[in-house]
Chain A
Amino acid sequence: MDPEAILAAIEQQRDNEAEPREEQERVPYLGFYLGTEVYGLPLDQLREVARVSHLRRVPGAPAGVAGLVNLRGEILCALDVREILGLPAQASTDSPFIVALRGFGDPLGLIVDSIADIYAVLPSEIEPPPATWPAERAARFIGTARVPVGLMGLLDLAKVTKV
């Protein structure tokens, strides 16, 4: 075989390996809005996104729990992410979304204002939360990533769901 052809074949193989590997390393995140800020959670921890037609508040519930939601007959415990992250209260969105999570003992969901997009993030693109964030807030994130709509805070769901 011609040495040039061997070299080309090696380079081709190298290219074939390199491209998919980078794609495989990207982690898809669902981006969602709370007010004007965008936050993200790993897609593999997401079960469903639905509009909230009826949120039933539970009297005596701890801060951070928005209430219970009937999702086609299944009752989800809805968490108030805005409250959990210490964001200022805002006039309630007419019809917010609930992001149903997977992998938790009880059926859980997060109440969010709206959905942004799905963003594929390389682990190398994840940076620590800004130093200007209060420590208590920063502890609820695995980091941040730059996406087209701004700086996306990547939630640490294990910590966010501990209310």
Chain B
Amino acid sequence: MTVSIEAVSLLVFEAADCLMAVPASEIAQLEGSDPLFTKIENRAAFDLGAYFGGPESDGPWLRWGRGTRSAWLRVRHVVDVVPVALSLLTPMPAVFRRQPRTHAFLAAGVRGDDVFLLLDPARLTS
């Protein structure tokens, strides 16, 4: 039996001067921007501001997990959790899929007049 998914709940956040989103179901935990927490070692962690070539993020950390994979993502701030119809998501144009950094964006969607990018944290590379 196949189950069709028509909408997905996305956690929308700002990072690298951009609106991004990940499936809310893949975010297990939010941590504050405490510097002590930031210095914890031995974990997969990505400051999304620095990752995309901008200034470091100064907001919370999101613990992302999918199956056995997990990573910490630092963002500027969390904006909202919104349900989005899959039909309203547009695959990223080829020019972005070819680039090592923007390859991490799966699709783009619309929130009001603005555009957000659906991030696949599994594609972030250290």
| Chain A residues near B (Cβ < 8 Å) | 53-54, 56-62, 65, 67-70, 73-75, 77, 105-108, 163
Contacts and interface: CB of A to CB of B under 8 A. Distances in A.
B83 interface: no
Given A75-B90, A75-B108, A163-B95, A59 B52 contact: yes
B110 A59 contact: no
Nearest to A163: B95
List the 9 closest A-B pairs by CB distance, nearest first. A60-B101, A59-B52, A106-B93, A59-B16, A56-B115, A77-B93, A75-B90, A68-B115, A60-B102
A54 B114 contact: yes
B95 A62 contact: yes
Contacts of B34: none
B99 A62 contact: yes
B41 interface: no
Interface of B: 16-19, 52-54, 88, 90, 93-96, 99-102, 105, 108-110, 113-117
Interface class of chain A by DSSP: loop
B103 to A, nearest CB: 9
22 contacts: A53-B113, A54-B115, A56-B18, A56-B114, A57-B18, A58-B96, A58-B117, A59-B53, A60-B53, A61-B96, A62-B99, A65-B96, A67-B115, A68-B115, A69-B115, A70-B114, A75-B90, A77-B93, A77-B95, A77-B96, A107-B90, A163-B95
B110 A73 contact: yes
Contacts of B110: 70, 73, 75
Contacts of B113: 53-54, 70
A65 to B, nearest CB: 6
